[in-house]
């Protein structure tokens, strides 16, 4: 592909920055669960000679997927970037469609997580990083946590947000769909709970984790087969972040299903 060197005009496109996010975007181009399209890659001109293999890799993928790789001056990169840790690599992309959850999307023997009411994009990204690593089949969203923050979520999730199947659903509807597939519904809360390490978390399983403010709705709690809590190693009257709680819970599910 013939490289391009030109000024990049202002745009309302979603911006992803750094090689980790860009690699995740490129990997997602081959998947069926993510329809986000890359419109252009912006590459710091002075970086080309010092990162020959990286540039060659991006140039090859740009040719494969049919978008331009544009060499840019530092000031153009920094004008577009969300922060100062872009490393001289940006991607300009379309929005991603988050499809509504249906019965056909559910693996009969899977492990899914519903994040109810999580709003902070950094916290959401950190959660997705752990959930993806723990082998979660998909994440169900109940609100528009993204709100134009896809680039932030991709960075904080180390690219997991672009690789993870995501679905949108009303909480009660999601519970109904999973129950119809024979899933256990396990929610993380305090009242009427048991320690998570005493709970049966074998698959198929839907784990419900509440957000920082609203938590889990009453209807979902009432429909749950079990409510679990994380016991602490000392007296501490503060709650863990949704990302921390989701990480611990997901890896306990992974531990119980290793065999």
- SS3 per-residue string spanning 49-79: CCCHHHHHHHHHHHHHHCCCEEEECHHHHHH
Q: What is the pLDDT of residues 145-157, one digit of tens each?
A: 555 689 999 999 9
Confidence check: pLDDT of 75 > 80: yes
pLDDT at 214: 73
pLDDT at 206: 98
* Integer-rounded Cα radius of gyration of the chain: 20
- Say yes or no: 220 and 131 in one domain: yes
Q: Is the dihedral of CA 57, 58, 64, 69 positive or negative?
A: negative
Full residue range of the structural domain in which residue 20 is found: 4-93
Total domains in the fold of the chain = 2
Confidence check: pLDDT of 3 > 50: no
Write the DSSP string, 103-120.
Answer: GGGS-TT-EEEEEES---
CATH number at residue 50: 3.30.1330.30
Whole-prediction pTM: 0.90
Query: Is residue 93 within 8 Å of 13, Cβ to Cβ?
Result: yes
- What does the block give as tokens for 68? 């331009």
Domain end: 64, 93, 122, which one?
Answer: 93
Lowest mean pLDDT among 28-42, 76-90, 232-246: 76-90
pLDDT at 9: 46
CA–CA distance, 193 with 90 (Å, rounded to integer): 45
Confidence check: pLDDT of 4 > 60: no
CA–CA distance, 222 with 50 (Å, rounded to integer): 58
Lowest mean pLDDT among 1-10, 88-97, 210-219, 225-234: 1-10
124: helix, coil or strand?
Answer: helix
- Say yes or no: 89 and 103 in one domain: no
Confidence check: pLDDT of 10 > 80: no
CATH number at residue 123: 3.40.1280.10
pLDDT at 12: 55
- Say yes or no: 104 and 158 in one domain: yes
Q: What is the pLDDT of residues 224-253, one digit of tens each?
A: 999 999 999 999 998 888 999 999 999 999
Query: Is residue 153 within 8 Å of 128, Cβ to Cβ?
Result: yes
Confidence check: pLDDT of 1 > 50: no
Confidence check: pLDDT of 15 > 60: yes
pLDDT at 148: 67
228: helix, coil or strand?
Answer: strand
Domain end: 38, 69, 93, which one?
Answer: 93
Confidence check: pLDDT of 259 > 80: no
Domain end: 43, 78, 93, which one?
Answer: 93
Percent of the chain whose pLDDT exceeds 70: 93
- Say yes or no: 135 and 43 in one domain: no
Report which of residues 95 and 82 the model is more confident about.
Answer: 95
């Amino acid at each position: 592909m013939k490289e391009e060197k030109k000024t990049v005009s202002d745009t309302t496109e979603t911006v992803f920055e750094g090689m980790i996010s860009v690699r995740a975007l490129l990997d997602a181009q081959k998947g069926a669960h993510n329809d986000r399209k890359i419109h252009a890659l912006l590459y710091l001109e002075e970086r080309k000679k010092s990162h020959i293999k990286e540039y060659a890799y991006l140039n090859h993928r740009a040719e494969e997927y049919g978008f331009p790789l544009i060499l840019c001056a530092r000031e153009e990169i920094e004008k577009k970037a969300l922060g100062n840790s872009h490393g001289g690599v940006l991607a300009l992309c379309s929005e991603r469609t988050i499809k509504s959850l249906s019965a056909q999307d559910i693996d009969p023997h899977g492990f899914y997580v519903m994040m109810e009411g999580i709003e902070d994009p950094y916290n959401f990204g950190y959660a997705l990083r752990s959930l993806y690593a723990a082998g979660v089949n998909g994440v169900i969203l109940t609100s528009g946590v993204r709100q134009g923050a896809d680039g932030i979520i991709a960075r904080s999730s180390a690219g997991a947000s672009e690789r993870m199947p995501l679905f949108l659903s009303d909480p009660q509807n999601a519970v109904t769909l999973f129950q119809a597939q024979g899933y256990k519904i396990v929610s993380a809360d305090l009242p009427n709970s048991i320690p998570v390490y005493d709970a049966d978390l074998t698959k198929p399983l839907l784990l419900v984790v509440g957000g920082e403010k609203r938590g889990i709705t009453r209807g979902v709690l009432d429909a749950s087969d079990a409510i679990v809590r994380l016991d602490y190693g000392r007296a501490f009257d503060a709650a863990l972040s949704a990302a921390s709680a989701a990480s611990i819970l997901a890896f306990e599910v992974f531990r119980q299903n290793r065999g």
